Amino acid sequence: MEILVVVFSLALLGLCGLFMHVYEILWLKPERLRAKLRRQGFSGPQPCFLLGNVPEMKKMTKSKSTAAAKSPTNEHDYASTIFPFFEQWREKYGRNFMVSFGNVQLLYITDPYVAKEISICTSLDLGKPAYQHKELRALLGQDIRVDEDLRTFSSYMVSKTLFGSSSYKGIDMFIRLKALKKALSTPSLLNGVPGLRYLPTKNNRKIWRLEKEVQSMILKIVKERTKDSCEKDLLQMIIEGANSGKIAPLTSEQFIVDNCKNIYLAGFETAAISASWSLMLLASHPEWQCRVRAEVLEVCGGKVPDADMLLKMKTLTMVIQETMRLYPSSPLVTRETLQDMKFGDIHIPKGVNV
């Protein structure tokens, strides 16, 4: 009988400890971060338990999509269409405010001086967050869909730059990375619930399998490269950085894998989207389309373009630069503070996404 009482007591203590641990992660820790930001004068929408401001974001996005469907227009400020909640909250709470993605705290900053400090910060205490997985799809016409072709072409170019002579293996990896990205951005009613990615759901098992395959493919290329390191491409630079002694041996492999995945996913998507916007602008301004085409024909003369030819294409360069000005490859730049940091007069506690 005494043994049963002891076992029951231990089980009860374990459950209480587990409850307090979960409560700490889901509410107390995020609330402490919000309190530190509130003391500096930051405000923002009131989060709900577990989901934060995600339900409100979904409601605003749905409302914006419905309004856009009724009266479609071609706007340069596409960020306000993709993230309407940021624009509405900026008008309500000011240029800088805080938002909750589940238990992840985000400090939204539009102050140009603070944003400049963050963008040029090279400290390892300011890393890229892991919460952003939503796919940003290109907005093209319905007659001719070229976005997939542009993604495929840009993936080949990134693979060639990253892996050099092993680029054909990079194409196989790209197929899996593309499937991984699609799995990560699969919509769910439970999106935003903390800890959901650790549950063995069907989609999570698919993500784990693809991540394992991608890691194995990258490490296989790295193993082959270490035997013959004569090439000077991005992969070789990453390997040399991992072996410089500044990174622990146990994490050097993960460092290489993470950098290859980041370059691949960020590189091919942003290049394809920028190319899509360029084509849209050229289609909207046929006179510039004719000028660019005439310049390409004159400079290339039917030959395959090389670096010297590209430098001579002034009109094409102007079109690309104007496209990047109107439609940046990413509407948001995000970082995660791995330690307490200060930018200008703003103290950002550890664990806040900016």
Q: Are residues 185 and 247 in the same domain?
A: yes
Q: How confident is the model at residue 119 (pLDDT cuts 50, 70, 90)?
A: confident
Give 337's strand partners: 126
The pTM (predicted TM-score) of the whole model is 0.53
In a domain, 318, yes or no: no
Of 201, 205, 206, 213, the residue nearest 175 (C-alpha): 213
In a domain, 311, yes or no: no
Q: Say yes or no to pLDDT of 19 above 50.
A: yes
In a domain, 129, yes or no: no
What is the residue range of 268's domain? 147-284
Percent of the chain at pLDDT exceeding 70: 79
Greater model confidence, 131 or 13:
13
- Long-range contacts (CB closer than 8 Å, 24 or more residues apart) made by 227-235: 231/164, 231/165, 233/161, 233/162, 233/163, 233/164, 234/161, 234/162, 234/263, 235/162, 235/163, 235/164, 235/166, 235/260
Percent of the chain at pLDDT exceeding 90: 1
Last residue of a domain, one of 71, 90, 123: 123
Which amino acid type is present at position 70? K
Q: Are residues 113 and 7 in the same domain?
A: yes
Last residue of a domain, one of 268, 284, 300: 284
Distances in whole angstroms, Cα of residue 98 to Cα of each of 30, 91, 132, 210: 11, 13, 16, 34
- Give me the number of domains the chain comprises: 2
Q: Is 234 helix (H, G, I), strand (E, B) or coil?
A: helix
What digits encode the pLDDT tens for the residues 270-318?
888 888 888 888 888 889 989 999 998 898 888 888 888 888 889 999 9
Q: Are residues 119 and 151 in the same domain?
A: no
Of 326, 298, 328, 303, the residue nearest 314 (C-alpha): 298
Q: Are residues 56 and 185 in the same domain?
A: no
In a domain, 280, yes or no: yes
Last residue of a domain, one of 227, 251, 284: 284
What digits encode the pLDDT tens for the residues 327-338?
887 767 777 777
Give 104's strand partners: 101
